[in-house]
Amino acid sequence: MTQGLCYETKRSQHTVGMERRLAAIFSADVQGYSRLMGEDEESTIRTLTAYRSMMSRLIQEYRGRVVDAPGDNLLAEFVSVVDAVQCAVAVQRTLAACNNDLPSHRRMTYRIGINLGDVVVEQEQLYGDDVNIAARLERLAVGGGVCISGTVYDKVMAKLDLDYVFLGEHIVKNIARPVRVYRVAIGTETTSPLPVRQWREHLSPRQRLLWGALAILMLLAVALLIWYGTGHSLEWRDAQLVAAATASA
């Protein structure tokens, strides 16, 4: 029976194959979702349901498709990367307006990451490194913010009247090559940039080397200042002792 199942699996791989296509991948999740659920599950679920419904409508308006929405996550795809970025901006601005009606501790903010690349499609689900990169970009964003990859930036920077902030090249989990990351500056961000620890973990090898060298230079400068100050202090003390000895003589 096992051999028959393996045979059917191999045969389906050879006869059916998997569809590939270029897509703009839109990945979103709620920042601080565990805290919100821990404080008030029912209220959090109501807000989540309402916000997810609103996001789905906007995705459809911008000619996108919701692929999956488990828990507080949402994955969508767009044929046009311009549509994807415009949709992300519309989502964040709409959510910011909705959050104004909620107490500050109950506000729900999403982080959004967008990447452009080749995806594998199987039964309407998306797979591949470029999908994973979108998810990693989402985690680099702050609440209410949007992060895009360098490939997305190259396509939209001359087509959309938006400001972008280059965040450098980042090493992201399970992706071999560094990823250029840009923040879309839309004024809806609700939290500060990456914590130091998370920021350090996403530096490229070259950036880590440069920052390490800078740290060493700073330590050497501090040590030199301490040595210089200590030397002058000893000279001053010796001069005082000589003066005292001369006066007593």
- Which DSSP symbol is given to 89? H
- Which DSSP symbol is given to 142? P
Query: Is the distance from CB of 53 to CB of 29 less than 8 angstroms?
Result: no
Q: Quick one: pLDDT band at residue 220, thresholds 50, 70, 90? A: confident
Q: Domain 17-195: what homologous superfamily?
A: Nucleotide cyclase, GGDEF domain (3.30.70.1230)
pTM metric for this prediction: 0.71
Number of residues that this document lists for the chain: 249
pLDDT tens figures, 128-170 = 889 999 999 999 999 999 999 999 999 999 999 999 999 999 8
Average the pLDDT over each of 4-8, 110-114, 149-153, 243-247 and give the range with the smallest value: 4-8
Cα 184 to Cα 86, 88, 211: the distances in Å are 11, 10, 25
Q: Is 181 exposed, middle or buried (0-12, 13-18, 19+ CB in 10 A)?
A: buried
Contacts of 96-103 spanning 24+ positions with Cβ under 8 A:
96/144, 96/188, 98/50, 98/51, 98/54, 102/47
DSSP string, 112-137: EEEEEEEEEEETTEEESHHHHHHHHH
In the numeric block, the tokens 């990169």 are attached to 133
